[in-house]
Structure 1
């Protein structure tokens, strides 16, 4: 009987060691998953969490491209990527029509979803920053300090940013990932497909990249 008791004790000790090792392994795995998920942009993270943002072809029923509609919406809030998009819209498009602001935000979001660009809003907006006048969005590399002086304009574009991140907007630009004001005609525009014009901006899609991706698949 003494032999059996010792054997049972040894078995129990071994089992407890295995459980402890498993808990340690699971803890490490959980930390790795947290680190990976925190690096994902909001639109991609939503898929892993079992829900998705509203599809672009099913906009909010009461959405209206007007300042009056924006003023009726609650104050917009969000994290780092939301702040980056709101700031970009303020400096890039606050003088545009509301629909034009939504279109510019959509281009930025389209870049996030494209393998050609960084996979976060802040990454897309700050791409190239540090090289004067060689960045993607001029306000980030023109050498001037970014100061938000028009509070109402910022609050409105922040609401635009929130709505676009939440997917509550229809497709306005037909997948555009580039745009420029109608006052200029950059050389790169000749290589892309013109999709639409909204306000003072002309929008483009890079069909060369799409064709290359289709050929590879």
Structure 2
């Protein structure tokens, strides 16, 4: 008898507790602010769908595609197929006579003094270094700014402050440098030095060469990328 009463009492207690818990959950859900927000959001979406469905097909297409974005090329860049560089004298000579602005003149001059006498690949490689610096946040953002930049122990490019008169008297070398400068400023791919930002001759041994990874060796120059 006592056992039966105990089971009965336990059953009643469980029923009461379960009912209370259910009531608590029900009240909590009815007062849940996220439920009200969700219902309002669903209502707004329904109204928006009705508005869009009422538009003509052309308007619906325009909404789906979105506004037209115009892409502007940077100065000196040309649209079209990627340029293929042959790195041969015949290919370079067949290009139109080069000309340009101050940026072209600065690059032409730097190539003349820093890489004159090197192979075409060697000269293109030096141009890559200069333009890689232009693209780097660690250096000036113009060609002229890069080649004329000073630094600890002197200029970044020796011809700028070596005290010698900048006479560009070798016409063939100057023409070659001008053509290379034009090609590079027009967007030729930089594939020779793997992002190099520094170079030096094989005869020199600057301290930074022991810290920077070497990326290429072309002619008399070794090339490195600043980490």
Bucket of the pairwise TM-score, normalised by the shorter protein: 0.5 to 0.7
Alignment match of 2:133 (pick from 111, 124, 134): 111
Partner of 2:83: 60
Q: Give the length in aligned residue pairs.
A: 155
Q: Is 2:218 aligned against 1:195? A: no
Structure 1 residues without counterparts, runs of 5 or longer: 1-47, 208-217
Contact kept? 1:86, 1:161, Cα under 8 Å: yes
SS at 2:136 equivalent: coil
- Distance in 2, matches of 1:183 and 1:72, equals 34
3-state secondary structure, aligned to 2:173:
helix
Gaps of 5+ in 2: 1-69
* RMSD between superposed Cα atoms in Å: 2.1
Q: The residue matched to 2:105 in structure 1 has which SS? A: helix
Aligned residue number for residue 98 of structure 1: 120
Which deviations, in whole Å up to 9, do the C-alpha atoms of 1:96-140 show, x marking residues without a partner? 1000100100000000000110110000000018x9x60000000
| TM-score under structure 2 length normalisation | 0.64
What aligned pairs does 1:33-112 form with structure 2 within 5 A after superposition? 50-51=72-73, 53=77, 59-61=82-84, 63-112=85-134
Measured in 1, the distance between the counterparts of 2:176 and 2:71 equals 29
Structure 1 counterpart of 2:188, from 161, 168, 179: 168
Structure 1's consecutive aligned runs of 4 or more residues displaced over 6 angstroms after TM superposition are: none
Corresponding residue for residue 155 of structure 2: 135
Distance in 2 separating the partners of 1:159 and 1:84: 13
- What is the alpha-carbon distance in structure 1 between the residues aligned to residue 72 and residue 216 of structure 2? 34
What residue in structure 1 maps to residue 173 of structure 2? 153
Does structure 1 retain, via aligned residues, the 8 Å contact 2:128–2:190?
no
Whether the aligned pair in 1 keeps the contact of 2:201 and 2:222 (CA below 8 Å) is yes
After superposition, what is the alpha-carbon deviation per residue over 1:32-72, rounded to whole angstroms, capped at 9, x for unaligned?
xxxxxxxxxxxxxxxx96136369xx7524x2112222211
Larger Rg over CA atoms: 2
Q: Distance in 2 between matches of 1:80 and 1:157?
A: 14
Structure-1 residue corresponding to 2:143: 121
For 1:171 and 1:73, the matched residues in 2 are separated by 20
Report deviation, 1:165: 0.8
Q: Deviations over 1:59-87 (max 9, x none)?
A: 524x2112222211111111001100000
Q: Distance in 1 between matches of 2:98 and 2:189?
A: 16
Q: Which has the higher contact order (CA 8 A, sep 6+)?
A: 1
Q: 1:158 to 1:49 in 2, by over 3 A?
A: farther
